Amino acid sequence: MRGTWRAAWLIAVNDLRRRVRDRSLLIQGVLAPVALGLIVGVSFGGGPSFTATIGVANGAGESPIATAVVDSLVSGDASGDDGGDLSFVAIDAGDVQQAVADGNVDAAVVIAGSPENAVYGTQPVRIDVVGSAGSTLSASIAESVADSIAASLRTTKLAAATVVNLTQPSRSDAQQVFVEAQGVIPALVVDPQDVQSNFSVISYFAPAMAMLFLFFTIGTGARSVISERREGTLSRIRAAPVADSAVLLGKTLGVVILGSISLATVWAVTALAFGVDWGDPLGVAAVLFSVVIAIAGIALFVTGVARTENQADAMTTIVALGLAVLGGSFFFGASGVVSRLKPFTPNGQALNALTELSAGEGALLDVLPTVAVLLTVGALTGAVGVATLRKKVAV
Amino acid sequence: MNLRHRRLAVAQISRTELKRYLQDRIALFTTFLMPVLLIILIGSAAGSAPDEFVVGVLDADGSATSEQLVASLDDARAISVVTYDDEQELRRDIRLSLLSAGLVFPPGLSTSVDAGDEVALGLLTTQADQSAPSVIAAVNGAVADEGGRLAAAVFVEQQTSSSLAEAQAAVDAVDGSVPPAQVEVSTTGTARQEDENAFTGAATSQLTLFVFANGLFAAASLVESRRLGVSRRALSTPIGSGTLLTGLAGGRFSLAVLQAGLLLVIGALWFGVAWGSPTATTALVVVYCLVATGAGMLLGAVARTADQAIAIGVPLAIGTAMLGGTMWPLDVVGPVMRVIGHVMPQAWAMDAWSAIVNDGAGLSDVALEIAVLAGYALAFLVAGSWALQRKLTH
């Protein structure tokens, strides 16, 4: 048994030495994941850059309420509440269409009917929103601004009309009630917060890309069994007193060490050179190691099932790219289908766990279920792969 | 060799190159299947987003007021509510993109509202998520309505001798008779096809991404035939290096045109994309396929082994796609990244596509973009041919 392990170790070290000399490994294993992670990091470091200028117009003539609403928006009372860089400018009601069409403002809100008629009388509040067909996001934000204005006017109306209804005051007292009710503002405000204050997109995309390329590096290692059989080196090894199991163990050990070094280097480079916090080190190490096992298992399985080297190469690429697409390796924050399919892929499982760790919301214990799933996937697929490869070695 | 023979030789080499490439299963996957799969995934994800935001609500107050607020949020336009008991779970599901946002009602919400205080509701979003501003705006509008009703009741309680419960009942009675606000939305200009058909953006971006990527991947077979000496042997025949290089480029160009053409047809027939001006679309496709061909020739000349060509080609394809705005629109990144993005040919192609499919641009409207792409194509083809010729003859 000791002899088997010794032989396996020698085969693993020999494989590793040969692979490390190959520059492709350095590119796929370390440089590419770090560079692609950085591109995303620089692009989205501070969240998506969204800026919108909303024009506000008083289309109600000499209305004091409309004037007050426009002034309060333009003076900046309401800006910043919408998560983006939102600014308001006063525009003339007659110029609204032109201003939007010319792109001077991204969308506009026009207080169309007299707010006094709505607050004191029985007419509805009328606000028009003019958006550009080319910027639906700005139009929907302008619509929400209009909703807020309408809600505020409605608050005044409700407060004053109910008091008047209950107390039936004299005409002058009623007017006083309406004036006071204009100071009533909605009792609830929304306070936007970022759920991922510690989270860095680099810590998402760097491992996502590293996992994609891991399929290629590990796949090449696994395929070496087939190529060595073809080139005859495998027969020469078997001529020595080395068991087939030692050869396969050595090859598997080689790809696992290679994958672990690749992911650990990506982690170290992004953490040390770019200050990315991946979260609890024990948790990160456990997830990275278990995803290497899972990917190694899948790569061995694919290689075992394939009949020729070329077929193994084709199947590895298809599986790698397919899992990357379904596992959300190419898009962050994707809603819909991708967010549902993600947990069914090993890379998606690992990315979800790494997201939690990086957000500072989890430690080793929290990611243990993911680690268990990944190790099981690796063990099952790897076992089938090794069994089929064993037949190839023996032939 | 006369011109006719030379032409025949070029056609023969191109045909052989194309045939060899199409026999490769990975090639078929990355050429046709993967872009279509991505168009479906991206198109359906983008198409489902703006209709309704799923917002998780954690009601730590548990009062009649907060329950009423949950109900009115659920009724609001563009919002559908899922309730949570655990804030950790709520935060996790937002991070994992299962929710668009999370709203937390603090304990004591109803007591504070009853006392006439303003209450801040924490709205959790992922700032890196492009839809964050829209979801914040939608929740803001919905919360303001309910907040107004509550504030009005407190005012009534203060102004009359009613209890708060009586005041609320009175406000509710009046609420029914106040006509709803009329917020009318109109738009100027013609709608962008991208906004109306989510598959349009996905189809143009994946076409741009994969034609270039495939051009780079095709470098591997170039390196392989160089390494095996096939190209050198071809040079020993009387065809000459110019004919050989034109043939090699021709094969890659035909593949790019075949891929782009198929994606255009699938886009139109399956995803309902209207490709706009035929002359502008054809010019863009031809010039962009030349860019991809040139880039592949250059990589094929520089890489030493086929493995190295793939090792460089895949990350290069993904990296330039990210920078050039085919993985996300350049509108959502900062001005510096937008400028850097335009160092990539993809950004110019995306600008041209956007003008053609969204604004109905014709050939003259996208002349600048096509000229820039032609410049890239020329530079890549000249550099690639020169480097390849050196490798083959030295």
Per-residue pLDDT tens for B170-204? 988 888 888 877 888 887 776 677 777 778 888 99
Tell me the per-residue pLDDT of A153-183, one tens digit each, with 9 for 90 and over: 888 888 988 998 888 888 788 888 888 888 8
Residue A197 pLDDT > 60: no
Do B311 and A83 count as a contact with CB atoms less than 8 A apart? no
Contact A146 B34 (CB under 8 A): no
Distance CA B84, CA A320 (A): 36
User: Partners of A86 in the beta sheet?
Assistant: A52
Name beta bridge partners: B84.
Answer: B58
Under 8 Å between Cβ of A138 and A131: yes
Residue B281 to residues B110, B278, B321, Cα–Cα distance (Å): 60, 5, 20
Mutation pick from A109, A129, A190, A351 vs chain B, by most beta carbons of B within 10 Å, is A190
| pLDDT greater than 90 at residue B369 | yes
B24/A314 touch (CB, cutoff 8 Å), yes or no: yes
B101: helix, coil or strand? strand
Q: What is the DSSP string of B243-288?
A: HHHHHHHHHHHHHHHHHHHHHHHHHHHHS------HHHHHHHHHHH
CA distance A208 to A203: 9
Residues of A in contact with B120 (CB under 8 A): 189-191
Average pLDDT of the residues in A340-346 = 84
Instruction: Enter the tokens of residue A128.
Output: 């028009």
For testing contact with chain B, the best of A50, A79, A144 (most B CBs within 10 A): A144
Burial B156-186 (b: 16+ CB within 10 A, else e): bbebbebebeebbebbeebbeebeebbbeee
User: Which tokens go with A182?
Assistant: 């204009």
Q: Do B186 and A128 touch (CB under 8 A)?
A: yes
Q: What is the pLDDT of residues A36-75, one digit of tens each?
A: 878 877 776 655 556 778 899 988 888 888 888 888 888 8
CA B316 to chain centre: 18
Find the CB nearest A158 among B133, B175, B337: B175
Instruction: Please give the Cα distance from B56 to B123 (Å, whole number).
Output: 10
Give the SS3 label for residue B171.
helix
CA distance A46 to chain B (A): 7
Cβ contacts (< 8 Å) between B322 and chain A: which residues? 36, 39-40, 43
Neighbours of B336 (CB within 10 A): 10
B41 neighbourhood in chain A, CB within 8 Å = 325, 337-338
Query: In terms of residues, how long is chain B?
Result: 394
How does pLDDT run across A239-283, given as a tens digit for each residue? 777 777 777 788 788 888 888 988 898 888 888 887 888 889 999
User: pLDDT (tens digit, 9 = 90+) per residue, B77-112?
Assistant: 778 888 998 888 888 888 777 788 899 999 998 898
Residue of A nearest to B49 (CA): A335
Partner-chain contact A216 B311, CB within 8 Å: yes
d(CA B160, CA A166): 8
The better pLDDT of the pair B59, A234 is held by B59
Question: Rounded to a whole number, what is the distance in Å from the CA of A6 to chain B's nearest CA?
Answer: 31
CA dihedral A144, A148, A151, A157 (to 10 degrees): -140
Paired sense of beta strands A51-58 and A85-90, if any: parallel
Q: What is the pLDDT of residue B78?
A: 74
- Residue keyed to tokens 């070329």: A310
Name the percent of chain B lying above pLDDT 90: 28
Q: Which of B29, B37, B41 to mutate to test the interface with A (most CBs of A within 10 A)?
A: B41
Closest CA of chain A from B241, distance in Å? 30
At B149 the pLDDT is: 86
Residues in chain B with CB shorter than 8 Å from the CB of A188 are 69, 113, 118-119, 121, 143-144, 146-147, 150
- Mean pLDDT of the residues in chain B: 85
- The answer on pLDDT for A78 being more than 60 is no
Phi, psi at B55, each rounded to 5°: -115, 125
Residue of B nearest to A32 (CA): B315
pLDDT score of A80? 46
Q: Given the DSSP bridges, would you call strands B53-59 and B79-84 parallel, antiparallel or unpaired? A: parallel
Indicate the residue type of A49: S
A78 or B119, higher pLDDT = B119
Q: What is the DSSP letter of A342?
A: G
pLDDT at position B179: 80
Question: Is residue B232 pLDDT above 80, yes or no?
Answer: no
Whether A300 shows a pLDDT value over 80: the answer reads yes
As a whole number, mean pLDDT of residues B16-44 equals 78
Contact B323, B344 (CB under 8 A): yes
Task: Flag if B96 and A339 touch (Cβ within 8 Å).
Answer: yes
Q: Which residues of chain A lie closer than 8 angstroms to B182, CB-CB?
A: 113, 124-127
CB-nearest partner of B97 from A122, A201, A339? A339
Q: Which residue has the higher pLDDT, B121 or B50?
A: B121
* C-alpha distance from B128 to closest chain A C-alpha (Å): 4
Q: Name the residue with higher pLDDT: A374 or B52.
A: A374
In this predicted model, what pLDDT tens digit does every residue of B203-231 receive, in sequence order?
999 999 999 998 998 888 888 877 777 66
The type of residue at A23 is R
Q: Which of A388-392, B142-146, B360-364 has the lowest mean pLDDT?
A: A388-392
Residues of B in contact with A279 (CB under 8 A): none
Q: What number of other Cβ atoms are within 10 A of residue B56's Cβ?
A: 22
Q: What is the dihedral of CA A195, A200, A201, A204, to 10 degrees?
A: -100
Mean residue pLDDT across chain A: 81
ipTM higher than 0.85?
no
CA gap A278, A354 in Å, rounded: 7
B330 Cβ contact partners less than 8 Å away, ≥ 6 residues apart = B324, B337, B338, B341, B347, B350
Does the beta-carbon distance from A158 to B152 stay under 8 Å? Answer: yes
Half-sphere exposure of A96 (CA within 13 A, CB side): 23
How high is the pLDDT of residue B346? Answer: 96
**A125, A136, A162, best to mutate vs chain B, most B CBs in 10 Å:** A162
B-chain CB neighbours of A151 within 8 Å are 141, 144-145, 147-148, 181
CB contact under 8 A, A131 and B187: yes
* pLDDT value at A84 more than 70: no
Per-residue pLDDT, A50: 62
Which residues, including other chains, have CB under 8 Å from residue A324's CB and lie 6 or more apart?
Answer: A208, A211, A212, A330, A347
More confident residue, B327 or B316: B316
pLDDT higher than 60, residue A79: no
How many CB pairs (< 8 A) connect A and B?
370
Query: CB distance B41–A313 less than 8 Å?
Result: no
Mean pLDDT of A352-379: 89
Residue B139 above 80 pLDDT?
Answer: yes
Which helix H or strand E contains A18, and what residues bound it? helix A2-21
Q: What DSSP assignment string belongs to B195-223?
A: HH-HHHHHHHHHHHHHHHHHHHHTHHHHH
Distance from CA of B291 to the nearest CA of A (A): 22
Residue B50 has pLDDT above 60, yes or no: no
Report the pLDDT value the prediction gives residue A311, as an integer from 0 to 100.
Answer: 77
Residue A123: φ, ψ to 5°: -80, 150
Highest mean pLDDT among A95-109, A181-195, B227-241: A95-109
What is the C-alpha to C-alpha distance for residues A142 and A135, in angstroms, rounded to an integer?
11
Q: Are strands B101-105 and B119-125 parallel, antiparallel or unpaired?
A: antiparallel
- For residue range A15-24, what is the model confidence (pLDDT) as tens digits? 778 777 777 7
pLDDT at A81: 45
Q: Which residues make Cβ contacts (< 8 Å) with residue B178, sequence separation at least 6? A: A154, A157, A158, A161
Q: How many CB atoms lie within 10 A of CB A175?
A: 14
CA B151 to chain A, closest CA, distance in angstroms equals 5
Closest partner CB to A151 (pick from B25, B148, B173): B148
pTM score, two decimals? 0.75
* B contacts of A112 (beta carbons < 8 Å): 184
CA-CA distance, A261 to A210, in Å (whole number)?
Answer: 11
Q: Which domains does chain B have, with CATH numbers?
A: 11-46+194-393 (no CATH), 53-175 (3.40.1710.10)
What pLDDT shows up at residue B393? 72
Most confident segment among A136-150, A204-218, A229-243, A371-385: A371-385
